[in-house]
Amino acid sequence: MAIEVKNLTKTYKSHKKEPGFSGSLKSLFHREVIEKNALTSIDFSIGNGEFVGLIGENGAGKTTLIKILSGIIFPTSGTAEVLGYKPWERKNALKKQFSVVMGQKNQLWWDLPAYDSFLLLKEIYEVEEKQFKKIVSELSEILDMKDKLYTQVRKLSLGERMKAELIAALLHSPKVLYLDEPTIGLDVLAQESIRKFLKTYNSQAKTTIILTSHYMDDIETLCKRVIILDKGILQFDGSLEGVIKKYANEKVISATLGNKVELEKFTNFGTILNSNELQVEIKVERKNSTKIASELLNNFPIVDITIKDISIEEIIKNIFRESK
Amino acid sequence: MSKINVYSRCVTTKINQVFEYRTSFFLKLFLTGGTFFAIQFLLWKTIFSCSKVSEINGYTLEKMILYFLFSGFIFVFVDSNRIGIVIGNGIRLGELSKFLVYPLSYLEYNFFTFLGGKIIQLLTSLITFAIVWLAFPQVFLDFQVSHFQLLLFVILVFLSLCTNFLLDVLLSNFSFWLDEIWIVIVMKTFMLNLLSGFIVPLDFFPEKVFEIFSYFPFKYVLYFPIQILLGKIETEQIFFGIGILLVWIVIIFFLHKLLWQKGNKLYTGVGM
Ligand SMILES: Nc1ncnc2c1ncn2[C@@H]1O[C@H](COP(=O)(O)OP(=O)(O)O)[C@@H](O)[C@H]1O
Ligand SMILES: [Mg+2]
């Protein structure tokens, strides 16, 4: 197992900080504590080489989980092991084997070319010269960054910066990689190329990866397995198909009509999602979908019909809507 | 020994960054050192010419000028550049997170990048010093120090740089508890300026007070090294000074460790 999490709970205790210096001094002696439950009794384990998607709405606790697994913060109770180490003990032996990339934070030096930061990371992680050159040249080739490595980071586009961050994170060939919203704010093209890169990287380097993302496209193309967090509680852990099986109680039938039909007539079968002149999409109960489809075929002038699952995005939204 | 590589890379990366910003960097450097020297120069010139004495507290005008000239050069090197505020902000704004995952301690990282900036400041300082010497050789007539004392001087100044840096680092830990630490850092800077001899030579203080200063690190940051250059210090005293600084470095280091460990338990990595 690459990662094992048992009964992990995190409660943020922050002290109410008052503005100004006198407020600060006062708060040294008398402090009002604010508690915030971010994770509650989380259990899961992840095998070597798995690519797991971590999903949940804003504030669900995704970043908190990644911070604990990186040893940045301490858990309140419970335990976690990454490659056999407790991350918050901050052993160099573990630190040399994982990496974390955060969409909103950068580790590269802003005023310097990315390559300068790479050189520093090379020494921090004690990567051998030959290995370093090989990795930089391979990764920058795939990510199409070869001629961007010598430009100051602040002059790069958002997408290029994220690609440089990815290379930086992979210089020491980590066994475990955490990606917290790596595609946030990027244009579709950059998102796609990063997605493609991660897919090949995971399959070639056999790196264990946890990815959080707002974009279900990221999760769908990359992760066979997903973990769903909702307000700090683990809601689901399993395959993407499993999510569909468990939560998708509905299917979508879309029909192409030979000639115009009154839309009203379809409402007896399900809810209309979309319609235009000769095209209609209705949401129906999953277990009745085939029966309804054949009834539709019998009663309407239909030239083409398909039945599909509702989109994963829709399902996830439903899960969170229900829990509210 | 493999750490040499990462340390020197921290130094060179910082130097590269400084060169990206050379104009503002050098401007600031000359402003800090130069302005202060100019003020002191005019002030003491006026004092001497108004009071019509040739010596104050054993300082002739030439000695006084030399004092503040040395003070400017040494200060530029040993100044902590208020690195405590930078580190403190890193703690407060969550920038610290990325350093916590590196297999290199935050202290080492900060020290060696800090040293990178200092090396550039030292070189600039030395070049300016040489130019001033060539331009006004008469000021340096009194400047006679043995090579051995000069070597001890270098060691002492390096140690006082470390002390000053560590003091800032120590105070930066308050960011784990407080939102605003700039006032703590400014207070430290004020203490340092007053007690190091940056504002007036320390022998202007009453003798009892002056004696107490010998056991605190501040005196060794400026006043003491200047006195070495002025040829007023016995070699044994320099060893004593180096000893005092070493003791303080150890004390401050352990205090820092304590606060760092306690503070880290509270760290929540905001903004990530
Ligand atoms: N540094 C912090 N201090 C106090 N509360 C926090 C901190 N970081 C996050 N939280 C709270 O913990 C919960 C989980 O946050 P987070 O892990 O960032 O969620 P996500 O990444 O899924 O959006 C949220 O309610 C958030 O307000
Ligand atoms: Mg988050």
pLDDT on residue A164: 96
A167 contacts: CB under 8 Å, gap ≥ 6: A114, A118, A135, A136, A139, A140, A143, A145
Query: Is B272's pLDDT higher than 70?
Result: no
Same domain, A143 and A261: no
Ligand 1 pocket: which of A32, A36, A37 to mutate (most atoms within 8 A of CB): A36
Asked if A289 and A178 sit in the same domain, the reply is no
For residues B254 and A30, what is the distance between their CA atoms, to the nearest angstrom? 26
Query: Which of A124, A150, A172 is most worth mutating to test chain B (most B CB atoms within 10 A of its CB)?
Result: A124
| DSSP annotation of A59 | T
Q: Which has the closest alpha carbon to B269: A234, A102, A5?
A: A102
Full residue range of the structural domain in which residue A263 is found: 248-323
Tell me if B9 and A19 make a contact (CB, 8 A cut-off). no
Domain boundaries, chain B: 3-266
Angle made by CA atoms B211, B141, B198, in degrees to the nearest 5:
35
Q: Is residue A174 scored above 70 in pLDDT? A: yes
Q: Around Cβ A18, how many Cβ atoms within 10 Å?
A: 15
pLDDT of residue A275: 84
ipTM (interface predicted TM): 0.89
Measured between CB atoms, does B271 come within 8 Å of chain A? yes
Q: Which residues of A touch B265 (CB under 8 A)?
A: 74
A263 and A218 inside one domain = no
Neighbours of B258 (CB within 10 A): 12
Q: What is the pLDDT of residues B122-158, one digit of tens each?
A: 888 888 888 888 888 887 876 778 889 999 999 999 9
Nearest CA to ligand 1 atom 7: B270
User: Do residues A8 and A104 both lie within one domain?
Assistant: yes
pLDDT at residue A309, rounded to an integer: 80
Q: At which of A224, A245, A266 does a domain end?
A: A245
Kindly state whether residues A122 and A171 are assigned to the same domain. Answer: yes
Given CB atoms, is B23 within the 8 Å cutoff of chain A? no
Residue A253 sits in the same domain as residue A241: no
Q: What is the CATH number of the domain that holds A51?
A: 3.40.50.300
A104 and A11 part of one domain: yes
> Between A14, A63, A107, which is nearest B98 by CB?
A107
Chain A residue with the nearest C-alpha to that of B112: A120
**Can you give the pLDDT at residue A132?**
97
Residues A123 and A270 in one domain: no
Share of chain A above pLDDT 70, in %: 95
- Whether residues A191 and A239 share a domain: the answer is yes
Same domain, A167 and A310: no
How many Å lie between the centroid of ligand 1 and the Cα of residue A190? 27
At which of A245, A269, A298 does a domain end? A245
Q: Which residue of A has its CA nearest to B267?
A: A73
CB-based contact B9 A67, cutoff 8 Å: no
A302 shares its domain with A274? yes
The verdict on the CB of residue A59 being under 6 Å from ligand 1 is yes
Nearest by CB: A71 against B16, B100, B179: B100
